[in-house]
Amino acid sequence: MRPTRLPVNPDTPMQWHVFARLWPYLLEFKQRVALALLCLVAAKIASIGLPFVLKHTVDNLNQEPIATLAVPIALVVAYGTLRLINVLLGEVRDTLFGRVTERAMRRIGLEVFEHLHRLDLTFHLSRQTGGLSRDIERGTSGISFLMRFMVFNIGPTLLEIALVVGVLLTQYGMSFAMIILCSVVAYVWFSMKATDWRTEFVRQANLADSTSNTRAIDSLLNYETVKYFNNEQYEARQYDTNLANWEQARRKNRLSLFALNGGQAFIIAASMTSMMLLAALEVSHGNMTIGDFVLINAFTMQIFMPLNFLGFVYREIRGSLANIENLFNLLGTVPTVADAPSAGKLEINQSRIHFDNVSFYYRAERRILNHVNFTIEPGTKVAIVGESGAGKSTLVKLLFRFYDPVSGAVRIDDQDISTVTQHSLRQHIGIVPQDTVLFNDTIGENIRYGRPDATEQDIQQAIHLAHLEQFIASLPDGLNTQVGERGLKLSGGEKQRVAIARAILKRPAIMVFDEATSSLDSQSEQAILSALREVAEGHTSMVIAHRLSTIIDADKILVMQQGQIVEQGTHSELLSQQGVYAGLWQAQQKQASD
Ligand SMILES: Nc1ncnc2c1ncn2[C@@H]1O[C@H](COP(=O)(O)OP(=O)(O)OP(=O)(O)O)[C@@H](O)[C@H]1O
């Protein structure tokens, strides 16, 4: 698996406050956490006992003559048992605590997911979904790492150091305790400093790694384009340039790791040597036994073993904290389109839509809609036409309240849609969008998405109305055929028909068709148009169209130009006005007859 660690900027301060936010998740399973900690303390006490058993065994064997073998044998058995208890307690602790971590990951994962769906379209358009999912993945694995390592690595190591220093101080005097304490402090200090210094090299290596990978994937995904232009060698050269950077970055990374490991080894060696020298002196002066010498040796080794991982753990913790911070920042993002605290449900009566003097821009420097006024009477069909970029789809986005108007209001049955809940608003509007995106699921599930609790009969009826029957019958697994990225690719027209079936299934009071037949050939278009007419029957509907021939039966046609409605009326009224619409109509008629 590729590392999911976020390269950490060495100047980023440690995000200690993240711990405070994780605390409540630990408290969810108080008893488990308490039991895990109990196992931890018991395991550490067992491991502190080990060198003592060793000491007594050696001292016993060192007696001349050995009185009885029973005592050393019992001691060796005790040694083995203590080791086993130590390991088993560690396993029990891991198993107990695993549940706590997993539950925290689940809770936070769901919280973020729900929050992301609450955020507005502007947020989603400005963030790459790939980047977002990486943030979530890194954040949640950061939580798992942090919880495990704080409780099982840093915590136990600190406890062990305290116990060992305490034992040395009480049993063997100040000098031994001081050497251990000083060398641990030196070791920790050096590891942290050296790790911070190395972070930049690690970051460069990770960056070079992901750049070369992105390049390779991009090139392979564009396989066809590479072949069209005969550019295999060009691609290979580009890839190799990236690989050369990677090689260089890895070299620095490796050398800096050598410096870190070398420094740590030096501190350990110096500490071991001084402890052993001091112990040897004490033995030669008759103040200590050989057993004591072995005990001191065992303690020193025992202390440095977990510290060996310190550089790695420290770097990972920094990375995890930064990743979790990113994740929590996501949670802190406030949606710009939100339900008012007093928002009630949209009450649909006749479903009259009224754009009341609506002005809108995405960015202040470019106004998109300028004082737009129109009404769609209940049960009627209003078509919106106009040049590309005039603001037609923007009207739909405002109707769905993906954005709020800068001034004016959108009303449905005299209720300003910004005063009702978004859920109740969207419940009553169905859409066949310009681009239909399908989920990576079966075609049946994709249709059912319009109303997840629909019956089979409803689904069959929607399929029939959307003229999908023949197409589905031609699929190898019928409704169970997988579609989307890993399944069957549907053509633009087929996708639109799935979208129509979905919208039919939703049974909304208001229907919106945004270029709903743009991907269809003329014959399919006519079939779908008659289906849409059936579907729209009795609904208030808003139709956006490029091809005017598809909307001549509309009750009203609005002609948009640069964010304003410049003409409105029925097809024949507009033709007789001899204005913008008549011009567009003639142009399209001419095009069709050419
Ligand atoms: N999210 C956005 N941020 C900034 N500008 C946008 C955004 N969405 C659309 N626009 C701009 O707003 C203008 C109106 O877009 P809109 O999609 O409403 O036009 P349209 O009339 O539906 O065009 P078309 O017929 O080509 O679909 C365009 O100039 C477009 O570039």
ipTM: 0.95
Q: Among residues 332, 365, 399, which one ends one of the domains?
A: 332
**121 Cα–ligand 1 center, Å:** 14
Q: How far is CA 510 from CA 6, 150, 161, 310, 500, in A?
A: 46, 55, 70, 62, 14
- From 392, 402, 514, 558, give the residue whose CB has the most ligand 1 atoms within 8 Å, as the site to mutate: 392
For residue 270, what pLDDT is reported?
94
- For residue 567, being part of any structural domain is answered with yes
Ligand 1: residue whose CA is nearest its atom 10:
362
Ligand 1: residue whose CA is nearest its atom 2:
362
- Quick check: CB of 388 below 6 Å from ligand 1? yes
Question: 410 by DSSP, 3-state: which?
Answer: strand
- From 358, 385, 394, give the residue whose CB has the most ligand 1 atoms within 8 Å, as the site to mutate: 394
425-452 in b/e form (b: 16+ CB < 10 A) is bbebbbbbbbebebeeebbbbbbbbbbe
**195 Cα–ligand 1 center, Å:** 49
Round to whole Å and give the CA distance between 324 and 484: 32
Round to whole Å and give the CA distance between 320 and 7: 10
The residues, ordered by sequence, that sit 6+ positions from 487 with a Cβ below 8 Å of its Cβ are 440, 481
- The secondary structure element, H or E, covering residue 383 is strand 381-386
**38 Cα–ligand 1 center, Å:** 62
Pair 315, 403 in one domain: no
Both tokens of 57, joined, read 């065994």
**567 Cα–ligand 1 center, Å:** 20
| CA 545 from centroid of its chain's CA atoms | 37
Q: What is the pLDDT along the chain (594 residues), one digit of tens a residue?
A: 333 344 444 455 566 677 777 778 878 888 888 898 898 888 888 888 888 888 888 888 877 766 677 777 888 888 899 889 989 998 998 888 888 888 888 888 898 889 988 888 888 877 666 667 777 888 888 888 888 777 777 777 888 888 888 988 998 888 999 999 999 899 989 988 888 888 788 778 878 887 888 888 888 888 989 999 899 999 999 999 999 999 998 899 899 989 988 998 899 899 999 999 999 999 999 898 999 999 999 888 888 877 777 667 877 887 788 788 888 888 888 888 888 888 889 998 888 999 999 999 988 888 899 999 999 999 899 999 988 888 899 999 999 999 999 999 999 999 999 999 999 999 999 888 888 888 888 888 889 998 888 899 999 988 988 888 888 888 888 888 888 777 788 887 888 888 889 988 888 889 898 887 766 666 667 777 777 777 777 789 899 988 888 888 889 999 999 889 999 999 999 989 888 899 888 888 887 776
- Among the atoms of ligand 1, which is closest to the Cα of residue 434? 27
For residue 122, what pLDDT is reported?
80
Pair 314, 364 in one domain: no
For residue 494, what pLDDT is reported?
84
Report yes or no: 417 and 355 within 8 Å, Cβ to Cβ.
Answer: no
- From 361, 363, 367, 368, give the residue whose CB has the most ligand 1 atoms within 8 Å, as the site to mutate: 368
**393 Cα–ligand 1 center, Å:** 7
Both tokens of 297, joined, read 């040796």
- The secondary structure element, H or E, covering residue 372 is strand 366-376
Q: How far apart are the first and last CA of the chain?
A: 58
- For residue 9, being part of any structural domain is answered with no
Round to whole Å and give the CA distance between 18 and 317: 11
Ligand 1: residue whose CA is nearest its atom 31:
389
**378 Cα–ligand 1 center, Å:** 27
For residue 374, what pLDDT is reported?
92
Both tokens of 241, joined, read 């340039």
Pair 361, 303 in one domain: no
- Among the atoms of ligand 1, which is closest to the Cα of residue 560? 21
- Quick check: CB of 393 below 6 Å from ligand 1? yes
264, HSE (Cβ side, Cα atoms, 13 Å): 21
- For residue 144, being part of any structural domain is answered with yes
- For residue 7, being part of any structural domain is answered with no
For residue 6, what pLDDT is reported?
42
The residues, ordered by sequence, that sit 6+ positions from 129 with a Cβ below 8 Å of its Cβ are none
Q: What is the CATH number of the domain that holds 539?
A: 3.40.50.300
Ligand 1: residue whose CA is nearest its atom 18:
391
Pair 174, 305 in one domain: yes
Pair 265, 401 in one domain: no
- For residue 1, being part of any structural domain is answered with no
Pair 300, 424 in one domain: no
Strand partners, 567: 559
- The secondary structure element, H or E, covering residue 196 is helix 174-221
Round to whole Å and give the CA distance between 555 and 103: 56
Ligand 1: residue whose CA is nearest its atom 16:
391
What sign does the CA torsion over 288, 289, 290, 292 have?
negative
Comparing CA positions, the residue from 43, 62, 46, 47 lying closest to residue 292 is 62
One-letter amino acid for residue 32 of the chain: R
Pair 407, 293 in one domain: no
| CA 408 from centroid of its chain's CA atoms | 37
**394 Cα–ligand 1 center, Å:** 6
- For residue 218, being part of any structural domain is answered with yes
- Quick check: CB of 391 below 6 Å from ligand 1? yes
For residue 12, what pLDDT is reported?
56
Q: What is the CATH number of the domain that holds 327?
A: 1.20.1560.10
Pair 460, 562 in one domain: yes
- For residue 549, being part of any structural domain is answered with yes
Pair 311, 361 in one domain: no
Pair 273, 314 in one domain: yes
Compute φ and ψ for 518, nearest 5 degrees: -65, -25
Total number of domains in the chain: 2
- Quick check: CB of 517 below 6 Å from ligand 1? no
Residue 108: which domain range? 17-332
Q: Is the peptide bond before 65 cis (omega within 30 degrees of 0)?
A: yes
- Quick check: CB of 389 below 6 Å from ligand 1? yes
Both tokens of 53, joined, read 């058993």
Pair 154, 273 in one domain: yes
- For residue 346, being part of any structural domain is answered with no
**368 Cα–ligand 1 center, Å:** 8
- Among the atoms of ligand 1, which is closest to the Cα of residue 394? 18
Would you tell me how many other CB atoms lie within 10 Å of the CB of residue 24? 10
Pair 75, 135 in one domain: yes
- Quick check: CB of 435 below 6 Å from ligand 1? no
- Among the atoms of ligand 1, which is closest to the Cα of residue 563? 14
Maximum distance among all Cα pairs of the chain, rounded to whole angstroms: 125
Report yes or no: 294 and 50 within 8 Å, Cβ to Cβ.
Answer: no
Where helices occur in 429-569 by DSSP H, the ranges are: 443-448, 456-465, 469-474, 492-506, 522-536
**517 Cα–ligand 1 center, Å:** 19
- Quick check: CB of 444 below 6 Å from ligand 1? no
Q: Among residues 332, 366, 393, which one ends one of the domains?
A: 332
- From 363, 393, 518, give the residue whose CB has the most ligand 1 atoms within 8 Å, as the site to mutate: 393
**361 Cα–ligand 1 center, Å:** 10
Q: How far is CA 534 from CA 238, 293, 462, 504, in A?
A: 56, 94, 12, 10
- Quick check: CB of 392 below 6 Å from ligand 1? yes
Q: Among residues 332, 363, 390, which one ends one of the domains?
A: 332
Would you tell me how many other CB atoms lie within 10 Å of the CB of residue 346? 22
**396 Cα–ligand 1 center, Å:** 11
For residue 129, what pLDDT is reported?
62
Ligand 1: residue whose CA is nearest its atom 7:
362
Long-range contacts of 474-480 (CB under 8 A, 24+ apart): 475/443, 477/442, 478/444, 479/442, 479/443, 479/444, 479/447, 480/442, 480/443, 480/444
Ligand 1: residue whose CA is nearest its atom 26:
388
Question: 510 by DSSP, 3-state: which?
Answer: strand
- The secondary structure element, H or E, covering residue 155 is helix 155-172
Round to whole Å and give the CA distance between 411 and 346: 10
**468 Cα–ligand 1 center, Å:** 31
